[in-house]
């Protein structure tokens, strides 16, 4: 089996090809030099913030679920740390614990409703999305009288969560790479990854095989909500303030990045590395057009075409992988 054939049977194959094609498009038609694009901070910062949210969302999609409440958890995480450590002056670690703890609570609610009811997770997380938007807005106005709260973090917190490396690159890029590596290890080299893909294939069969489907569902929803609140927390530390608005674009952007990254909407197929490259591809399309002479309105067309092509490629790569998957010999 040659290396090229093995590559095209991997879930991330489409994302890598998409990234190459997008960069080639900007170089050929947008007159962008690869050096200037590679050295730009805007799209890398954009990808890092989006990527930390996209990977947990992608893992949920592999398991056959969906979480759109991340759109509200980003401003919720920002406001939680800003209220606790900015408005009330509590130590920054208490504010961080509050922001991340809020993500855990919302994740538990999403997981509980998903495993205890027959309502699709899309509808459940739509409800928590709207509810958290109301809580964040009403809570901020009730407690402070404003829709924004300032926050001055200590130097160590700035260094770890809100520093600008080289004056332009956000330190959250390092967090993104670290989280990607950790989750890739867990998903593709431990039994938990096998459980995840089994859940996406058939939850009932996975449950009958002894896989703790409920516990895995709880863990995935907690990871998704907490990752989003972590991004909001880092943004508040970086920009010294929190806003009740923002975060809604992350829903669409994360789903597009996941699909471009090779995850099937039907679940059971995908990879962490694919989502990583899918996020990079989406970031280059979204931000790279500003380095060209092309009309900015073309970016939406490019994203739409890229998404349609990605969906087609993902199904093709999955069929190719399944066709060449080793078949188990029947027992006598």
Which one, of 185, 186, 210, lies nearest residue 199 by Cα?
Answer: 210
- The Cα–Cα gap between 175 and 184 comes to 14
The larger pLDDT score, comparing residue 196 to residue 27, is at 196
Q: Is the pLDDT confidence value at 273 over 80?
A: yes
Determine the pLDDT at residue 328. 40
**Which of 81-90, 272-281, 306-315 comes out lowest in average pLDDT?**
306-315
Whole-angstrom CA distances from 26 to 85, 247, 259, 288, 293 are: 44, 28, 21, 8, 10
Query: What percent of the chain stands above pLDDT 90?
Result: 61
Q: Does domain 9-32+44-323 have CATH number 1.10.3470?
A: yes
Residue 120 is inside which H or E element, if any?
none
Determine the pLDDT at residue 330. 35
- For residue 117, what are its two tokens? 């009811």
247 touches 72 (CB < 8 A): yes
- Rounded to two decimals, what is the model's pTM? 0.90
Q: Is the pLDDT confidence value at 213 over 70?
A: yes
Instruction: Name the pLDDT band for 320 (thresholds 50, 70, 90).
Output: low
- The mean of the pLDDT values for the chain is 87
Whole-angstrom CA distances from 85 to 82, 157, 237, 262, 321 are: 6, 12, 10, 40, 50
């Amino acid at each position: 089996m040659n290396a090229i054939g093995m590559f095209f049977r991997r879930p991330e194959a489409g994302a890598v090809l998409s990234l190459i094609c997008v960069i080639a498009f900007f170089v050929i038609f947008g007159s962008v030099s690869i050096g200037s694009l590679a050295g730009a901070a805007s799209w890398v910062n954009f990808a890092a913030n989006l990527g930390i949210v996209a990977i947990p969302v992608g893992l949920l999609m592999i398991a056959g679920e969906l979480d759109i409440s991340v759109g509200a958890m980003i401003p919720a995480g920002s406001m939680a740390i800003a209220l606790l450590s900015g408005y009330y002056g509590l130590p920054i670690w208490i504010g961080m614990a509050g922001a991340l703890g809020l993500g855990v609570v919302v994740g538990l609610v999403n997981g509980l409703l998903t495993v205890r009811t027959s309502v699709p997770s899309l509808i459940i997380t739509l409800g928590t999305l709207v509810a958290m938007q109301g809580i964040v807005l009403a809570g901020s106005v009730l407690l402070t009288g404003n829709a924004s709260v300032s926050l001055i973090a200590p130097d160590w917190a700035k260094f770890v969560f809100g520093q600008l490396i080289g004056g332009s690159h956000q330190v959250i890029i390092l967090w993104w790479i670290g989280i990607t590596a950790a989750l890739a290890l867990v998903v593709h080299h431990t039994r938990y990854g096998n459980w995840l893909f089994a859940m996406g294939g058939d939850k009932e069969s996975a449950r009958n095989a002894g896989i703790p489907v409920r516990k895995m569902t709880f863990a995935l929803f907690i990871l998704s909500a907490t990752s989003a609140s972590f991004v909001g927390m880092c943004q508040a530390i970086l920009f010294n303030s929190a806003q009740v608005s923002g975060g809604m674009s992350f829903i669409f952007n994360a789903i597009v990045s996941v699909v471009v990254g090779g995850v099937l909407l039907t679940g059971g197929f995908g990879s962490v590395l694919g989502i990583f490259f899918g996020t990079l591809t989406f970031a280059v399309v979204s931000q790279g057009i500003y380095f060209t002479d092309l009309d900015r309105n073309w970016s939406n067309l490019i994203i739409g075409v890229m998404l349609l092509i990605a969906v087609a490629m993902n199904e093709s790569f999955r069929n190719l992988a399944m066709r060449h998957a080793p078949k188990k010999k029947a027992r006598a």
